[in-house]
Structure 1
């Protein structure tokens, strides 16, 4: 019974369920993953799984928000460890982390591309709001840490830059499969000019945006 567990035990079980779902997402599309498969992977019953998450969308929405929460926590540590950190450093960091997200956090990026069109349709609103509030608090803390080092940037402006970064990655990812159908290459058709090279094209596009917004800053190539 969920109610007989301590708060820490509940958190540990929820984490185990999230880890199991994330592991399945590494090899399967969202649509092919079932709650039964997640329960089996996590070593819990389907009834227990539904006690924690009422839908697959709620579970993956939680994974998404908590994942970015942890990622922002890591950025805070990274920035605090730098002896100096000016506007050029920050903009270069944004470009570097754009590539890092694509290379090393690709599952979070994939999930974020599903957030609006798929996850929000079936996710529990109350649960989503709780995790979004927690993520927002971390986002504000990250922006404040940067603002304290670069006073010319407001907390709102810094937050907006991270939103633009995320939007560019998700948008490019959604367009990167125009030469595919259901993740299969359309080898019988020539869609050469539909092809997008996700990491270099996204980083280049974001660089153009930042250079237009901050034309007096010399951006070092990450």
Structure 2
């Protein structure tokens, strides 16, 4: 059995290794199929030591999600710096490029995000959630500041749209996710039309939302700023 890491650096490395293993298992199994005892066994440690690092299964996977969100914010920052946001169309293109990249290249984030409000935030302990969310909020504000440098959109616009995007992603993911036995029946009977295309659903829904947001909020605001009745 592995011994409990004692130095802060060693503890951080061990926590990272645990999250890496949890993420690896989550890509292959459903959340309900993963037990903390299975993760401990994979890590070569006792259940007791695992719970020293993460009090609950929800806390562990919420931490994995937050880590993925940090990576997402870093990537979003990189994209904004490459293409400054000088108009709502620039912002629209940024969001769609980043969203499609997430869908195509980061199934871990998409799967975790779809469970955030219903599972992780509902059951994770308050201390873990508060600490993680405070850090993410600070990082988010830094990204928002860069996006809003040329005042094409306001910080309120950015935050509201990103929150809507998360809801859209979750809704489309849940709609497209069917039990394995149902998927088999669909395939066997040639009923492909009954299976949702997650990527296309997300793309169309987000585009529709952005168009609606622009027409309902950005255009009227622009008109008021110009002093038109």
TM > 0.5: yes
Range class of TM-score, shorter chain:
0.7 to 0.9
Identify which range, 69-78 or 208-217, moves more after superposition.
208-217
Which residue number in structure 2 is paired with residue 162 of structure 1? 162
Q: How far has the Cα of 1:141 moved from its partner? A: 1.1
The runs of 5 or more residues in structure 1 that have no matched partner are 218-222
Which residue number in structure 2 is paired with residue 85 of structure 1? 85
Distance 1:17-1:190 versus aligned 2 partners, 3 A rule: same
Q: How far has the Cα of 1:32 moved from its partner? A: 0.4
The answer to whether the 8 A contact 1:66-1:135 is kept is: no
Whole-Å Cα distance in 1 between the matches of residues 51 and 182 of structure 2? 33
- Structure 1 or 2, whichever has the larger Rg, is 2
Whole-Å Cα distance in 1 between the matches of residues 96 and 181 of structure 2? 27
Are positions 1:32 and 2:27 aligned together?
A: no
Which residue number in structure 2 is paired with residue 201 of structure 1? 201
The answer to whether the 8 A contact 1:66-1:131 is kept is: no
Which residue number in structure 1 is paired with residue 148 of structure 2? 147
Q: How far has the Cα of 1:45 moved from its partner? A: 2.4
**TM-score, normalisation: structure 1:** 0.86
The answer to whether the 8 A contact 1:147-1:154 is kept is: yes
Q: How far has the Cα of 1:68 moved from its partner? A: 0.5
Identify which range, 151-160 or 166-175, moves more after superposition.
151-160
Which residue number in structure 2 is paired with residue 181 of structure 1? 179
Structure with the higher fraction of residues in helix conformation: 2
Whole-Å Cα distance in 1 between the matches of residues 37 and 156 of structure 2? 42
Distance 1:42-1:90 versus aligned 2 partners, 3 A rule: farther
**TM-score, normalisation: structure 2:** 0.84
Distance 1:183-1:9 versus aligned 2 partners, 3 A rule: farther
Which residue number in structure 2 is paired with residue 220 of structure 1? none
Q: How far has the Cα of 1:193 moved from its partner? A: 5.3
Whole-Å Cα distance in 2 between the matches of residues 5 and 81 of structure 1? 42
> Matched residue pairs, number?
212
Are positions 1:102 and 2:100 aligned together?
A: no
Whole-Å Cα distance in 2 between the matches of residues 73 and 99 of structure 1? 16
Q: How far has the Cα of 1:194 moved from its partner? A: 4.0
Q: How far has the Cα of 1:52 moved from its partner? A: 0.9
Higher relative contact order (CA 8 A, sep 6+): 1
Whole-Å Cα distance in 1 between the matches of residues 54 and 176 of structure 2? 31
Whole-Å Cα distance in 2 between the matches of residues 97 and 116 of structure 1? 22
Q: How far has the Cα of 1:213 moved from its partner? A: 2.0
Report the secondary structure of 2:114's partner residue.
helix
Please report the RMSD computed on the Cα atoms of aligned residues, expressed in angstroms. Answer: 2.2
Q: How far has the Cα of 1:190 moved from its partner? A: 7.7
Q: How far has the Cα of 1:91 moved from its partner? A: 0.8
Report the secondary structure of 2:115's partner residue.
helix
Report the secondary structure of 1:31's partner residue.
helix
The runs of 5 or more residues in structure 2 that have no matched partner are 220-229
